[in-house]
Structure 1
Amino acid sequence: MLRQVTCLADDIRAHTGSVAEQVRALPGALDLAGIESVVLVGNGDSDHAARAVEMAFRSLAGVDCRPVSALPFTHYRRPAASPARVLTVAISVSGGSPLVVRSAEQARAEGGPVVALTAKAASPLARSAHGTVLLDLPGQEPSPGVRTYQASLLGALLLAIALGQARGHLDRAAADLLRDELGALADAVEATVDESIGRTRRIADRVAHAPVLTLLGSGPSHGSALYGAAKQVETSAVFAVGQDLEEWCHVERFAGPFDLPVFVLAPAGHSSGPARRVAQRAAGLGRRLVAVAPADHLDAFPAWAALPVHGQVREEFSPLLYHLFAAPLACHLARRLHRVPFAAGRSGHTPVPPTTPETVKEEER
């Protein structure tokens, strides 16, 4: 898992151009120029990525955008009045998540265009879509998703830029500059990872026995907070929750014990002011505040510990930098607590059986 973290910068350098070319080569039958809204569908890390890139589709593509988990999409959604103008982006690295596949099939059957973001070209999801952006990552190792999460973010952000260009919301020069910005973030990713690995080890030693970890963020950082919480649970079996900044003030701030660790994600942008205010409130309540913020803005936080984020980044692209602490922290917690990912081998742990066509049919019944 830590090896994956150290691969992230090189993945951006190696794959930004090729993924951008795939996005530009999507079939003309998708008619991206006529798209008015986007629905992003996924489960787990894919759902967190969808929530992290919602702002990018709204601002860079100029469309309405809604992230929807796969079960609400398949069981509670009403078909669009003009399905041809609603692009469904179905995200599943494995390409086999049953409800994500069913979401793509439903949207296509209703007459809407579907793009799959997946690492498996021959997967059920790819077969269900009109076009596929292949998130190929050579040398993958079994572990909670790290490189795959970044790949999903990168593919979705490049799709948002291409959609904005197709719709005339961005001209060619502006779109190319945005693509260059994404590729240039590799250096900031590398610097942030290098510092995060050591700092998260020290933080893990001090919070390993806390009853719960809380990660807070709004806008794109809400998706990053959800992803960060998921990594702690999957990797170290430490209970962690991701929450919106304002919602934490309304509910979770009343929970004890009052020295609970709280991680506040505070990139530059719309939520930076609210993040500082929530951080001050959390510290005033006695919380052990961990600030995840630009390296040159950490003085604004009354932090118990700090996780600096290096480089300048627009808020739409900030998810590529603000999740980087999560995997190292989870690894250090697992080592500190002598645990392994997905609670494998723990007493009373029952492995989840593999998904087969028969189990999917049983689930549907």
Structure 2
Amino acid sequence: MERDEIVARPIRKAEFGEPIPVTIEDMLNEISNQGPAIPAVISSVQPQLEALDPSLLAESSHFYITGCGDSYFAGLAARFAFARYAGVPTEALEALEFGRYAAGFVPPGSTVFGISNSGKAARSVEALVNARLGRAHTVAITGNSEGWLAQEAETILDQSVRLDGELIGMPSNLATDEEEDKPRRGSFGLVNYLASLTTLYLIAFQTGVVRGRITEGEADALREELRSTAELIAETVRICTPAAEAYAEQVKEIESYTFLGSGPSLATSLFYAAKTYELPRVYGVSQELEEWAHEQFFLTGTGTQVLFIAPQGRSVSRIRELLHTTQTMGGCGVVVTDESNPELSEAADVTLPVAGSVSEELSPLVYCVPGQLFATCLARSRGRLAFEFDSPLQYEMNMRTIQESQLIEFHPPRK
């Protein structure tokens, strides 16, 4: 059997500026003010979707969503919305897994959405390169319409937005504001996750319309619900901050946490774990809800911290059972939930409250907030800034490791 022809591209030089540490105050400000990115992205991206050739969404046999870190988590989070509203088989894969192992074997008629807000993540770029070689249609979802990712895509969805004239989304070390001499507030780039989620939800709704699965009126109602999550984010910050502060102070000496979620909340659990690595620098383990019962259960005992991400939805009954199991084994059961789950809140050792009652499909937009607050408050309780690199070497290696990597093209054998 003939093997793929492998072509190694020249390695691009990493592009980055000077690191700007993010203080606790700056991070809390960023968390509090991220919500307006959602309506801003809707206003920017929806016209782009309506301008696309409808056949791109109407005739695709499969959708694949790929990226790294938060971009990958966004794809996982949106799968349920694609299943429910778009009616297209949709799979989210980490960029290396997709680009090097799946891209060459996608079904005919597939469309691949690659996500990188900076447009410089080498593995995400590579994923689109190999998707195109696998004869899929490639779409870049990015905040950098001239970046490396966009250069490899056949279609570009630009999710960059400005509020009050300021570009939002980029971390401060990658800021592209024109006023280079203007003092900049330290930024972690939290809104990138919201922007990617919002864009993916809009794609799911638009696909449902062009395929006749939902009406335009139903899509408008979904977009309005999407828009309304901005207010729920602001209210969640208000009601959850005291609880996050108290819990962080209570557990500031603890080095490991387990975050559990299912369906869209599996992605939220991954997001929480990532923030605990990046901010307070503790070990956060993400696990699918049911798999915990088969695996991390054996490590659960007195003082074990288990956080359940529990929007109203299909897994509430199982969360209730596993919360009881955690507590019976001596662990601390923390529930992240809203007012629609009073029984869970009453049973939990700690509740991190979420405002309102958002649908399970869209819950990652609002449920990311308690994880952001907890990680920030834990960093403060442990005497750290919200985000800072430990050394110039760590910063440089982080940038170079993500960007300066060999891109490999896998060309299928010629018939």
TM-score, length basis structure 1: 0.92
Amino acid at match of 2:365: L
Which residue is 1:220 aligned to? Answer: 264
Q: What do the CA deviations read for 1:70-91 (whole angstroms, capped 9, x no partner)?
A: 11112222634643x2111111
Shift of 1:357: 11
Q: Report deviation, 1:186.
A: 1.9
SS at 1:361 equivalent:
coil
**Matched residue SS, 1:264:** strand
TM-superposed CA distance for 1:187, in Å, is: 1.9
Structure 1 stretches lacking a partner, 5+ long: none
Pairing 1:76–2:120 present = no
> Aligned residue for 1:291?
335
Which residue of structure 2 aligns with residue 44 of structure 1? Answer: 69
1:218 Cα shift?
A: 0.2
- Matching of residue 18 in structure 1 with residue 50 in structure 2: no
- Change in CA separation of 1:353 and 1:16 when aligned onto 2, cut-off 3 Å: closer
Once residues 112 and 277 of structure 1 are traced to their aligned partners in structure 2, the CA distance between those partners, rounded to angstroms, is 43
Q: Describe the SS at the equivalent of 2:140.
A: strand
Q: Which has the higher contact order (CA 8 A, sep 6+)?
A: 2
The residue identity in structure 2 corresponding to 1:283 is Q
Which amino acid in 2 is paired with 1:322?
Answer: Y
- Cα distance in 2 for partners of 1:300, 1:341 equals 30
Deviates more, 1:12-21 or 1:318-327: 12-21
Distance 1:15 1:77, change over 3 A: closer
Residues 282 and 179 (structure 1 numbering): CA distance in 2 closer, same or farther, change over 3 Å? same
Identify which of 171, 190, 210 aligns with 2:215.
Answer: 171
Deviations 1:176-225 (A, max 9, x none): 11111111222222111211222111110011111211111000000000
Mapped to 2, the partners of 1:14 and 1:350 lie a distance apart of 31
Q: Which residue of 2 aligns with 1:270?
A: 314
Residue identity (%): 31
Q: Does the 8 A contact of 1:343 with 1:349 survive in 2?
A: no
Match of 1:232 among 259, 270, 276: 276
Residue 11 (structure 2) aligns with: none
Q: Secondary structure at the match of 1:318?
A: helix
Contact 2:335 2:344 (8 Å CA) reproduced: no
Q: What is the CA–CA distance in structure 1 between the aligned matches of 2:401 and 2:295, rounded to whole Å?
A: 40
Post-superposition offset of 1:351: 4.1
Which residue in 2 is equivalent to 1:133? 157
My pick for the range that moved more, 289-298 or 244-253, is: 289-298
Correspondence for 2:356: 311
Matching residue within 78, 98, 105 for 1:53: 78
Aligned-CA RMSD value: 2.4
1:333 & 1:160 partners in 2: Cα distance? 36
**Structure 1 residues 336-347: aligned runs within 5 Å:** 336-340=381-385, 344-345=389-390
Tell me by how many angstroms 1:47 deviates: 1.0
Instruction: Specify the alignment match of 2:133 in structure 1.
Output: 109
SS of residue paired to 2:302: coil
Q: Where in structure 2 are the equivalents of 1:176-191 lying within 5 Å? A: 176-191=220-235
Distance 1:29 1:124, change over 3 A: farther
**Residue-by-residue CA offset, 1:225-283 (whole Å, 9 max, x unaligned):** 00011001111101101111101111101115531111101111111221222112112
Q: How does the TM-score come out when normalised to structure 2?
A: 0.81
Write out per-residue CA displacement over residues 311-351 of structure 1, whole angstroms, 9 at most, x where no aligned residue.
Answer: 22221111111111111111111111122466623699574
Greater helix share, 1 or 2?
1
Check 1:2–1:90 CA distance in 2 against 1; reply closer, same or farther (3 A cut): same
* Contact 1:7–1:147 under 8 Å retained in 2: no
* Whole-angstrom CA distance in 2 between matches of 1:118 and 1:358: 15
Residue 241 of structure 2 corresponds to 197
Give unmatched runs, 5+ long, in structure 2.
1-26, 162-166, 173-186, 410-415
Structure number with bigger Rg: 2
Q: Specify the code of the residue in structure 1 equivalent to 2:64.
A: V
Tell me how far apart the structure 2 counterparts of residues 151 and 263 of structure 1 sit (CA, whole Å): 25
1:94 aligns to what SS in structure 2?
A: coil
Question: In 2 relative to 1, CA 73–125 (structure 1 residues): closer, same or farther, beyond 3 Å?
Answer: same
Alpha-carbon separation, structure 1, partners of 2:279 and 2:59: 42
Residue identity matched to 1:171: T
Aligned equivalents of 2:271, 2:402: Cα separation in 1 = 29
The match for 1:5 among 23, 28, 31 is 31
Q: Give the conservation status (yes or no) of the 8 Å contact 2:106–2:134.
A: no
Distance 1:4 1:358 in 2: 25
Assess if the C-alpha contact under 8 Å between 1:40 and 1:88 holds in 2: yes
1:23 aligned partner, one-letter code: L
Deviating more after overlay: 251-260 vs 98-107:
251-260
- CA separation of 1:230 and 1:175: change in aligned 2, threshold 3 A: same
Q: How far is 1:295 from its partner?
A: 2.0
CA contact (8 A) 2:259 2:284 kept: yes
**CA distance in structure 2 between the partners assigned to 1:79 and 1:248 by the alignment:** 33
